[in-house]
Structure 1
Amino acid sequence: MKHIVQRSAALAAVAALSMALAACGGGGSGEGGDTAASLAAKTQFNPQPYESLKDGGSLTTAITEITPQFNTFQTDGTLYTLNVWRWYNPTLITFTADGDPVYNPDYLTDVKQDTVNGNTRITYTINPKATYNDGAPIDWRSFESTWQTSNGRNQAYFVSSTDGYDRIASVTRGVDDRQAVITFNGIDVWWPGLFNVLLNPKATDPKVYNQGYINNPHNEWGAGPYQIQKFDQQNGTIVFERNPRWWGKRGKLDTRTFLTMESSAAINAFRNGQLDIVAVNSQNDYAQVKTQPGTEIRKGPSLQLDFFTLNGQSPILSDPRVRKAVFESIDRQQIVKFHFNGLDYTADPQGSMNLLPFQKGYQNTFDQVIRYDPEQAKRDLDAAGWVPGPDGFRQKNGQPLRFTYVNTGDDVVGKAVAGGTAAMLKNVGIQLDIRQVPSSDYSKIVTGRQFDMFYSGVSQGDPYGLAYICQMWCSNTGLIKSGLNDPKNDALVRSVNTLPTPEEQYARGAEAEKAALATYGVMPTVNLPAIYAVKQGLANYGAGRFYVATPETIGWQK
């Protein structure tokens, strides 16, 4: 699935499950004159075998927020939810930098794919040692509970994404309890993106699923090389330690800590040695860390794209003519420049919400729907009855054409995007008020839809971006907060993943995305590079493209 992320110094330590929201990020490091094309195949995460790592030590990173919702499957979960979740819950499938699936032998001893009567069937054989922290076995029932809560058939579950799970016909017991047999309706080409992580069967009650994880991580329902040592909700801190119940390779780190911080605070914390790695979001950030002793810069493509969201439930923005005019007023080339101002990095504006520019099947569908044209925006507003007033701002029946843009955190790029967008809209007679709030308000703003206009990012968690097209564009999505996804497009969107080949899905997906973008709810802007300042010696961590490390393999090189 995809997860939302917000702009901040938060570091996506591992890839997200499907897609997730996050803060919009910054720019490049200013080294080497990189372009999006030159970074597409690049990774820098210091890959090291387990045996080359020291025993002991700690890892401390910043995170924008410890998201109140600890259930990564629930609709209010973000990328930050998943980054924490994977340190103390089962991680069955990870990926190489190139996107090849890797099955974790501590949980899965065998994975077999076959086709039966035209239906994809996957058989997972589970390690007999695998148990949750409360002593319950990890068996086929965990696959069943993950499917039943995520397939969309029970509306009591507020699920982040049903994509893929809704195409499963059955999850059954295999030769014994330690084998799960997954049978799809028809062919499924993206199946390795499912069951990367599991939901404990004890969380299947809808009230527990939706509310039981709020500010309660439920360490006893987890499993893996680490467990929670301390969760300090008030101060935004969570610390992990080795799990004495773990049956696999011992974690190399003594402790792993997430600290809630604003972007500028994180840079300062890295400089004074409090953090071991930090995201480099601007030229100013890079200038502060590039000469730090014992520091290296790790750079590669990110899985994140930034985008604007318009709240269609806002009275003024409920008119599609106004929304269209807003997007026609925004120069996406200028938004790209805000991200990379003064840096030796260039990229074209992002043209799709489904796929990233370096992925097969990518098309710039946005430019096929709407283009930067402030004069057309003025004509659209004229036609909608909004006329310029004495101060240059438009009004209608005595009401000003005015709404609010919420900006979270103190990231300089985020502030530049907010101010620049206000200036562009002013040019066509729209008054945009910027409301600045701390990063800690991010989940509240997003989940409560407390904005008229918002800028954030979405992060892919695996190589199968098109597998989550419904999470992005279906009318019941929990990911996109515009409230504008049209039910009339649902049949077209849902048909994409029923096609038997990736190539057919790419073509149908572009058609579906164009129809969805024509509701004028979201505007993609830029796919960011991933750039981190890292203390030398940190292994299996950094800019890895699709690479995901299991927690026990992260540590310090000997």
Structure 2
Amino acid sequence: MKNLTKIGGVTAVVAALALTACGGGGAAQGPEAAKGQDAGSDLAKLVSINAKDAKDLQPGGTVTLPLGNIGPDFNGFSNNGNSADNTALHRPIDQAGTWGCWNFDFDGTATPNKDFCEDVKSEVMDGKQTITIKVNEKASYNDGTPIDVKAFENTWNMLKGENKDIDIVSSGAYEFVESVKAGSSDKEVVVTTTQPIYPLDALFTGLIHPAVNTPEIFNEGFTGDLHPEWMAGPFKLDQYDSAAKTVTLAQNDKWWGTKPVLEKVVFRQLESSAAIAAFKNGEIDGVSANTITPYKQLDGSKDSEIRRGQRLFAGGLNLNAQKAPMTDVAIRKAIFTAVDREALRKVRFNGLNWEETSSGSMMLLPFSKYYQDNYPVKETGAEAAKKVLTDAGYTANAAGIMEKDGVPAAFKISNFGDDPTTLAFAQTLQNQLKAGGMDVGIDQRASADFGKVLGSRDFFMSVSGYTVGADATDAVKQFYDSKTNENELGDAELDAEIKKLSTIADNDERNKAAMAVEKKHMEKYFSMGVVMNGPQISFVRTGLANYGPSLFKSLSQVPDWTTIGWEKK
């Protein structure tokens, strides 16, 4: 879970409109977060959590939060389970699986998570690296299995990418690990590498229980089953109602770390319209209002306040290059060319008091000092898109649709959820692509279908994207390495550049090199396009403390699950 936006070192896929454990209602906090920030800006403007000391909060109580989808695959390390909603669900109950060795500050700075890894040391000699990890003596899974060298070794074995039957999202830096062995005891883990790995938090930000050790268990064992016995966190699973799509959590008496303030946490699967009604009725304690329809409906809700910040999101144009006609790079380039990104953002952010310039990176937000605009098309518009297709051998048929060898440039845009603005965004995109000579429909799906559709690659093009971290090293491998990216697009030259990246100790130099790889890949393959980043606007029940837009400290808007709670009345 790099930068707390990932699980097991990969970025999580996100719908364009996500309910992910957010907040939301009345007097606005963080009013300066009305625009996307640029490099060197004050990131505190993008954080709004009503920070309180845990000792000053009311002990006990319940928080109820919405998710766009709960399950059916609860393995966040797999493609089918790799979603922001799944990550948010696991945060309070499985810090071993989602935080592991590392904690992160709001700006993305990593430090050892002492609940699991009390100390992490690195030494490089003769081009090889030795990482020594001192594991907390008390750390253990809910079933009593110690968290020790066996968990670290199994994490490496499952994620290093050698066994192609294991449906991992990306091997990340694990493919550069040579061995994981015990040091002076099983609680001292000694990791040796084939080449240096930077940053160190590219490894073991999420640990896999030793029992999850076959492709069958990894790929299929979590369907409909959270397996709480293989978790470790301040809360535990109390009840999972698969029919009602509700998960209830209680304090975990086996947790050795700080005791949480709350007594209970409830997650409910809700479409956006249902979440709005539930918040107004007092049934849930937070909800996103990242488009104008929910914002207007929620504005003025009783006992609520608004918390604003930056959403850790990049995307809008998620293309499935393995599904015809998206297999043709000319089609993909024509899509990038036909799109009017400014017009799409106006639809998306209409009425929200939010401004941002065109973002051009899937890996970093514009406020990062490492950021550069890598969007691969400069001349855009309908005629420019038609020229791309014409140059590739397409001609207009009787209906005006560009086709080649009798096959038209025809596909659908998958849109998720029932938010009107999100649909309007998809329809505007549809019209832009139609003007560019493409026959484009809309495949409307429920929010609950998001993980299944994206995980099984059952789409042509999706209005979705990925969470964004503070460092591009892991993301560049996930998105652009030909052996690991979902579109299987890339080449040996770029793969070699990506492999070299993790050996660069200097953060500036490494991220600059990552940006260069993204620029080359986008210009050649056109697989993912950034239309927007966007705000995180949350309506939150008045009195809820330590919850809200948190930048890199927490994708799920809970910086620390042991401190979230209610102010004393």
Of 529, 537, 540 in structure 2, the residue corresponding to residue 534 of structure 1 is 540
How far did 1:446 drift? 1.1
Of 403, 425, 435 in structure 2, the residue corresponding to residue 417 of structure 1 is 425
1:487 and 1:64, CA in 2 relative to 1: closer, same or farther beyond 3 A? farther
Deviation sequence 1:444-490 (CA, Å, 0-9, x none): 21122222221102013x53233331111112335x4x444445532
Q: What is the one-letter code of the residue matched to 1:244?
A: D
- 2: distance between equivalents of 1:108 and 1:484? 36
Q: What is the one-letter code of the residue matched to 1:489?
A: L
Of 441, 444, 447 in structure 1, the residue corresponding to residue 455 of structure 2 is 447
Structure 2 unaligned residues grouped into runs of 5+: none
* Aligned ranges 1:396-545 → 2 under 5 Å: 396=404, 398-460=406-468, 462-477=469-484, 480=486, 482-486=487-491, 489-517=494-522, 518-545=524-551
- 2: distance between equivalents of 1:528 and 1:440? 22
The residue matched to 2:369 in structure 1 has which SS?
coil
Aligned partners of 2:382 and 2:437 also within 8 Å: no
* Aligned ranges 1:207-246 → 2 under 5 Å: 207-246=216-255
Q: What is the one-letter code of the residue matched to 1:20?
A: A
- 2: distance between equivalents of 1:527 and 1:316? 27
Matched, 1:23 2:23: no
Percentage of matched positions with identical amino acids: 33
Deviation sequence 1:34-73 (CA, Å, 0-9, x none): 2212784421112223322221111111101113221221
1:539 and 1:393, CA in 2 relative to 1: closer, same or farther beyond 3 A? same
How far did 1:391 drift? 3.8
The residue matched to 1:181 in structure 2 has which SS?
strand
1:484 and 1:115, CA in 2 relative to 1: closer, same or farther beyond 3 A? closer
Partner of 2:56: 52
1:174 and 1:540, CA in 2 relative to 1: closer, same or farther beyond 3 A? farther
What TM-score does the superposition give when structure 2 sets the normalisation length?
0.89
How far did 1:190 drift? 1.0
Deviation sequence 1:76-101 (CA, Å, 0-9, x none): 22222222222222243221112222
- 1: distance between equivalents of 2:201 and 2:399? 57
Partner of 1:341: 350
Q: What is the one-letter code of the residue matched to 1:16?
A: K
Partner of 1:260: 269
Partner of 1:6: none
1:198 and 1:120, CA in 2 relative to 1: closer, same or farther beyond 3 A? same
- 1: distance between equivalents of 2:60 and 2:234? 14
- 1: distance between equivalents of 2:57 and 2:134? 30
Deviation sequence 1:498-522 (CA, Å, 0-9, x none): 3332233233222311222121222
Aligned partners of 2:344 and 2:425 also within 8 Å: yes
Partner of 1:555: 565
1:416 and 1:552, CA in 2 relative to 1: closer, same or farther beyond 3 A? same
Aligned partners of 2:480 and 2:489 also within 8 Å: no
- 1: distance between equivalents of 2:32 and 2:511? 33
Q: What is the one-letter code of the residue matched to 1:266?
A: A
Aligned residue pairs, count: 544
What TM-score does the superposition give when structure 1 sets the normalisation length?
0.91
Q: What is the one-letter code of the residue matched to 1:551?
A: W
Of 290, 298, 301 in structure 2, the residue corresponding to residue 289 of structure 1 is 298
Aligned partners of 2:304 and 2:539 also within 8 Å: yes
CA RMSD of aligned residues (A): 2.5
The residue matched to 1:382 in structure 2 has which SS?
helix
Deviation sequence 1:318-348 (CA, Å, 0-9, x none): 2222221122111111121122112321111
Of 307, 331, 341 in structure 2, the residue corresponding to residue 298 of structure 1 is 307
Deviation sequence 1:288-335 (CA, Å, 0-9, x none): 223123212111122211231222233333222222112211111112
1:121 and 1:436, CA in 2 relative to 1: closer, same or farther beyond 3 A? same
Partner of 1:355: 364
Deviation sequence 1:214-234 (CA, Å, 0-9, x none): 211111111222111111223
Partner of 1:8: none
How far did 1:109 drift? 3.0
